Structure 1
Amino acid sequence: MMIDLWRKIKKGNLSPVYLLYGTESFLINETCHLIIQSTIREEEREFNLSAYDCEETPVEVALEDAETLPFFGDKKVILVKNPYFLTAEKGKEKVEHNMKRLEQYIEEPSPFSVVIFTGLYEKLDERKKMTKMLLKQTEVFVASPLNEQEIRRWIAEHLLASNVTIEEKAADLLLQLAGTTLTILANELNKLTLFVGQGGTITEETVRMLVPRSLEQNIFVLIEKVMQRQLDEAFRTFYDLLKNNEEPIKILALLANQFRLIYQAKSLAAKGYGQQQIASLLKVHPFRVKIALGQAKLFSVEELMRIMNDLAEADYQMKAGLMDKRLVVELFLMKLNEKAVS
């Protein structure tokens, strides 16, 4: 749906009113930018692009602007942020909004304006007349977190503007190294695009050369190296993290989070839950569950329980100041390695 909407906008098939809401602010901002880019030229934006916040300004002020002819050019864009009156949120009724006026505008929108309602809301109150009307009569985009397949489509679409392609293995590695946060992925893709140039292809080697591992990915590597009995490599990764000013207590916390996820994913999978179901229950991205399930094959449930007890003990020693923080992590890695050997 997202890619279809973007392609429609790029072709100039614009709607007079958009409703963009959800928890993925990056997708909302990117869609807004695309609408603006497709509606008004850059030199016109100073005069024909306006933004209003419903928590500060009555919505009818924005509508009056939308009904005022553009100063230069043929079109104008009006951003209407935080339309809380479409939700069940309480305590924000500081501004009185004329809903009748908004109804009239939705029924007969200005032919020379594009109005975009945007809000970081997980859901709207569909019992409200105004919400029902907007959902029915406007172009709606719900910016929810993307699953792995959607992220791969988003990556391909993001590169399309530069006529750049990415190999499947390169996309795999990019997701492993950079994670699934769209802001980070966009920055890495821009860097890779600049390197390969217009019409180029991003290869696995290009990604390996240019994309640094995220902290979470380094934790993943740390666990993998220990389980592969490559303790030297595991310690090298740990020391690299310390050189990058990562605190031992943060590293230990991330190790605990990852092992907890591995344990939970393994337990749920044993009960017959699928990857998407596990992700939904644990409220994490499905790609993280995919990685955790891969690592879960290296451990029994009993081993994971013992490891989590070891991590709890290490956390106590670190916070109580009973031992040097760096030494605490080193001893935990050595103990983990002993389990891998046995």
Structure 2
Amino acid sequence: MAVDSLKSITKNNIAPVYLIHGVNAFMSKKIRDKIVDYTLNEEDKEFNLSLYDLEETSIDQVLEDAETLPFLGDKRVVVAKNAAFLTAEKSKDKVEHDLAKLQQYVEQPPSFSTLILLAPYEKLDERKKITKLLKKQAAYIEANEFGEKEMKQWIHNLLSKDGVNMDEDAETLLIQLVGLNVTLVTNEIEKMVLYVGQGGVITKEVVLKLVAKTLEQNVFTLIDAVIQRKVSIALNMYQDLLRNNEEPIKILSLLATQFRLIYHTKQLSSQGYGQQQIAQTIKVHPFRVKIALQQSRSFEEQQLKGILKDLAEADYEMKTGKMDKALILQLFLLKRAQ
């Protein structure tokens, strides 16, 4: 887990070679920066820190730099991103890479250098000899997108630095509003910590007050109002969206997307599929599936079919200009939130 890996990096255990693999760009950078900061001081970074793109630069040149003695310092750090030669994908590299040289380097790295290879991909090709070697010999760190559990751990780590607590329902609401985007969550946590102060408590009210909502998040709340049959809240929210110049057809599209997800998750759940299986089958993040499953409990399958039929008809009416677009969606909400 990337959060645990980040915590485990200390000044006394820097490895000679790192392979940071995964699509979580925020955590990859955090891990990379921590390794660099623990290896080089600010003055050394000017002369002994090198950054390369392996789509543009050969691994041979990168290794040549890593094997060069540090200048006016004890250590050198060489960072090379886009190590696509570790995947099964067709290479976009403009250069040739001598992987035999990389193998020799990994087996006998110089004591004065730290080489960091970044592989921002979903999968590596485990059949390749160099991939196997790096995963065995190097410090291998996965930086994949966070699930709900990892995100909550990350939130707790951020809060503990300032002695701030967060109510469980506030934490759940934050993830519902922002999603599992670690950059956005971090920014919102930092903002709320400043608001409540050291030793403070972040409540649900604080989240509602400070966290800005996107259109998608507002639509999610609108669906909740429909589910709970709170017609006045649903209509007020809809009017707020219109006042913010949101297009009815865009709101309709997002409603249709979420209700389709609710319908599919209910279908698969009734067939015995678990949350992870559903996520893999329909290729949607497990957290979104979790929310959709919760929402699906408020509907029978036939009700969801009816809602999807109503949404399809509303879409047709909007596109053919049969009625005012804003009124079409208002009538849908009146019908389904009653």
- After TM superposition, the score normalised by the length of structure 2 is 0.92
Q: Secondary structure at the match of 1:88?
A: coil
Deviations 1:196-231 (A, max 9, x none): 334444333322221123433321221222233322
2:68 matched to which residue of 1?
68
2:21 matched to which residue of 1?
21
The Cα shift of 1:191 comes to 1.0
1:87 matched to which residue of 2?
87
8 Å Cα contact 2:126-2:132 kept in structure 1: yes
Distance 2:116 2:322 in 1: 57
Distance 2:86 2:122 in 1: 12
Q: Secondary structure at the match of 1:20?
A: strand
Distance 2:111 2:243 in 1: 58
The Cα shift of 1:137 comes to 0.7
The Cα shift of 1:14 comes to 1.6
**Aligned amino acid, residue 292 of structure 1:** A
The Cα shift of 1:134 comes to 0.8
1:236 matched to which residue of 2?
236
1:49 matched to which residue of 2?
49
Distance 1:46 1:161 in 2: 30
Moved more, 294-303 or 316-325: 316-325
1:247 matched to which residue of 2?
247
8 Å Cα contact 1:47-1:71 kept in structure 2: yes
2:168 matched to which residue of 1?
168
1:313 matched to which residue of 2?
313
Distance 2:27 2:7 in 1: 14
**Aligned amino acid, residue 179 of structure 1:** G
Distance 1:311 1:79 in 2: 51
The Cα shift of 1:93 comes to 4.9
1:97 matched to which residue of 2?
97
Q: Secondary structure at the match of 1:122?
A: coil
The Cα shift of 1:27 comes to 2.3
1:32 matched to which residue of 2?
32
Distance 2:56 2:214 in 1: 39
2:205 matched to which residue of 1?
205
8 Å Cα contact 2:227-2:295 kept in structure 1: no
1:77 matched to which residue of 2?
77
The Cα shift of 1:94 comes to 2.9
Distance 1:247 1:116 in 2: 46
Moved more, 25-34 or 262-271: 25-34
8 Å Cα contact 2:82-2:118 kept in structure 1: yes
Is residue 122 of structure 2 the alignment partner of residue 122 of structure 1? yes
The Cα shift of 1:181 comes to 1.6
Distance 1:48 1:241 in 2: 53
2:141 matched to which residue of 1?
141
Distance 1:194 1:43 in 2: 32
- Please, which runs of 5 or more residues in structure 2 have no aligned partner? none
The Cα shift of 1:282 comes to 2.0
Distance 2:198 2:328 in 1: 49
Distance 2:231 2:121 in 1: 46
Q: Secondary structure at the match of 1:310?
A: helix
Distance 2:195 2:275 in 1: 35
Distance 1:87 1:166 in 2: 40
Moved more, 120-129 or 322-331: 322-331
1:157-306 equivalences under 5 Å are 157-306=157-306
The 1:303–1:69 alpha-carbon spacing in structure 2 relative to 1, beyond 3 Å, is same
Deviations 1:166-212 (A, max 9, x none): 33232112112222222211111121122233444433332222112
The 1:275–1:319 alpha-carbon spacing in structure 2 relative to 1, beyond 3 Å, is same
8 Å Cα contact 2:148-2:287 kept in structure 1: yes
The Cα shift of 1:139 comes to 1.2
Q: Secondary structure at the match of 1:281?
A: helix
The 1:202–1:336 alpha-carbon spacing in structure 2 relative to 1, beyond 3 Å, is same
Distance 2:72 2:234 in 1: 61
8 Å Cα contact 1:8-1:14 kept in structure 2: no
8 Å Cα contact 2:229-2:336 kept in structure 1: no
8 Å Cα contact 2:85-2:91 kept in structure 1: no
8 Å Cα contact 2:23-2:120 kept in structure 1: yes
8 Å Cα contact 2:10-2:38 kept in structure 1: yes
